[in-house]
Structure 1
Amino acid sequence: MECSAGISADRPSVVIEPRRGLLQLELGSIWQYRELLCFLIWRDVLTRYKQTAIGAAWVVVQPLITMLIFTFVFSRLAKVPSDGIPYPLFAFAALLPWTYFSQALAKTSGSIVSNANLVTKIYFPRLLIPLAAALAPVVDLLFSFLVLLVLMGWYRVVPSAGLLLLPLFLILALVTALAVGLCSSALNVRYRDVGSIIPFVSQVWMYVSPVAYPVSAVPEQWRLLYSLNPMVAVIEGFRWALLGTAPPDPLPMMVSTAVILLLCFVGIIYFKNMEQSFADVI
């Protein structure tokens, strides 16, 4: 008894209690388990490139092919304007944040189900799983960013001083994917058809976002309503920071940012309230 008491006294203990309030989010536990978060991100990155024929080249080929298709359909055939920027560069600069967002959303939505063995065996903050899934595709974004730099050199486009704010728009893309992914990942535990719906939602979402066309193509009376789409701020911010296009209108940008923060807040609350039943349902 003395030996066991001595051992238990030297070891840190974790007391797991039921949550007592709707807003008791316990976000500080994310920092306490930061090493596990880094491990989960590293594991997802290794899984992404393990046993692939072309490795990291695939994350570059995908947006390049999409850019070529957009250039032929929207620029050559539909004559969509590109705010004075060569259309291939105009489209690729938007496909960077969009491809990251769609990948992060897909991975986050299925993250809890794909990690069922961890969820049902050990305790840790469940929020780490979708957070790691949303952060891992940043590596893919970095590879694609190198291709964008080559295109900018080819077209002799020099980024503006707004490039310093590019990390801010990347964070907005991350928060948007995480916010929607938290809700969909929790729903996917109970309703598995959510995993089939997300790719369709992403496809529709892309066409209602300014990826293939500029915001200036949207009628002015509809732009404020259009800015309720949180990806509007992200995509327009990327283009402005990288290509030196006209600065985004402050009011729609603030509306998009407010929607992103609201979605994140709602997503965390919903996820934290649903996570108590994950181990039982999954």
Structure 2
Amino acid sequence: MRMFAALWGYRGFIFESVKREFQSQYTNALLGAVWTIIKPLSMIVVYTVIFSQIMRAKLPGVDTKFAYSIYLCAGVLTWGLFTETVSRLQNIFLEQANLLKKISFPRLCLPVIVVVNALVNFLIIFGLFTVFLIFTGLFPGMAFLSLIPLLLIQTLFTIGLGVSLGVLNVFFRDVGQFFSVVLQFWFWLTPVVYPLSILPATMQSAVQYNPMTPLIASYQRVLVEGLWPNWLSLWPVTTLAVLLCAFGLRLFRQHSGEMVDEL
């Protein structure tokens, strides 16, 4: 509790850091924050062309117009939030080494700043996606509210994983390099651009052990079909998220003093 009280005491520092980081991303950029939209949009367009046009991919049992594009958006946008956050968290203590050595402040502020900044970027593009759903008449209705707990579970999982990797990466620099490779395989082992049902039965069983599978599938179920998530399928990843957060915070508390010497 003392740690969270310290974070609350530095909420002004966190807010100003998020604001400054967001502004610095687009300094001297003619399009400014529009790049937040262009990057995921370009990825969605590429995947839509490759899978729906070239490979003639379709969603089994769903004939709604734009269904595959919405399926892609649901997967690509939320996966993008996950990778952006965890990739930055694993390097945050290395990137801010000078700040950690010169200024005394709760070091846990740094992961919080990363997470809040990533959520701001995500909410901008997801807000526009929501406007698209409304104007096309494909808004999922009340089931849309279930995205809040889904996002919370994903954020907890990302924080736990990212902080753990961030601390380990200070002492073992290969951790960051190795995890970058893992992320590439992880993406294709998660049903982001393809429905799980097209995989062989044995492969489906294996992919179900992927903690991101039920999360991404839940987003897609809500946004494509307008149905509430299967909450039972989310218990394993929720439990894992809580355990990872506890492990990451404990690891951080035990080694936060040693990290400065290693940087």
- TM-score normalised by length of structure 1: 0.80
Over alpha carbons, which structure has the higher Rg? 1
- Is residue 2:19 matched to residue 1:37? no
Find the partner of 1:67 among 44, 50, 53.
Answer: 44
CA distance in 2, matches of 1:147, 1:209: 24
1:202 to 173, 183, 189: 183
Matched, 1:105 2:86: yes
**1:279 to 2:260 alignment:** yes
Q: Deviations over 1:163-217 (max 9, x none)?
A: 1122222222222221121022112222334443443332222111121123344
After superposition, the Cα gap between the structure-2 partners of 1:88 and 1:150, relative to the gap in structure 1 and judged at 3 Å, is same
Corresponding letter in the other structure for 1:264 = C
Among residues 163, 172, 180, which one is paired with 1:191 in the alignment? 172
Deviation, structure 1 residue 129: 0.6
- Paired residue for 1:178, among 159, 163, 172? 159
Residue number in structure 1 paired with 2:101: 120
Relative to 1, partners in 2 of residues 1:194 and 1:244: Cα closer, same or farther, differing over 3 Å? Answer: same
Q: Does 1:135 align with 2:116?
A: yes
Amino acid of the structure 2 residue aligned with 1:67: I
Change (3 A) 1:36 1:224: farther
Contact 1:109–1:184 (8 Å) recurs in 2: yes
Name the counterpart of 2:5. Answer: 28
Q: Over the residues paired in the alignment, what is the CA RMSD in angstroms?
A: 2.6
SS in 1 for 2:173: coil
Query: Partners in 2 of 1:28 and 1:55 — Cα distance?
Result: 35
Map Cα deviations across residues 69-92 of structure 1 (whole Å, 9 max, x no partner): 222332334444425152112101
Partners of 1:261 and 1:79 lie apart in 2 by: 40
Structure 2: gaps of 5 or more residues: none
Counterpart of 2:214, as a letter, is: A
- Quick one: distance in 2 between partners of 1:200 and 1:255? 25
SS of the equivalent of 2:102 reads coil
Q: How far is 1:42 from its partner?
A: 2.1
Match of 2:26 among 39, 42, 49: 49
- Worse-matched range after superposition: 200-209 or 147-156: 147-156
Note if contact 1:135-1:174 (Cα within 8 Å) is conserved in structure 2.
no
In percent, how many aligned pairs have the same letter? 26
Query: Which ranges of 4 or more aligned residues in structure 1 deviate by more than 6 Å?
Result: none
Q: Kindly tell me: are residues 264 and 79 of structure 1, through their superposed partners in 2, closer, same or farther at Cα, counting changes over 3 Å?
A: farther
Corresponding position of 2:35: 58
Q: Deviations over 1:78-122 (max 9, x none)?
A: 444425152112101211111111111122122111111221123
Number of equivalences: 259
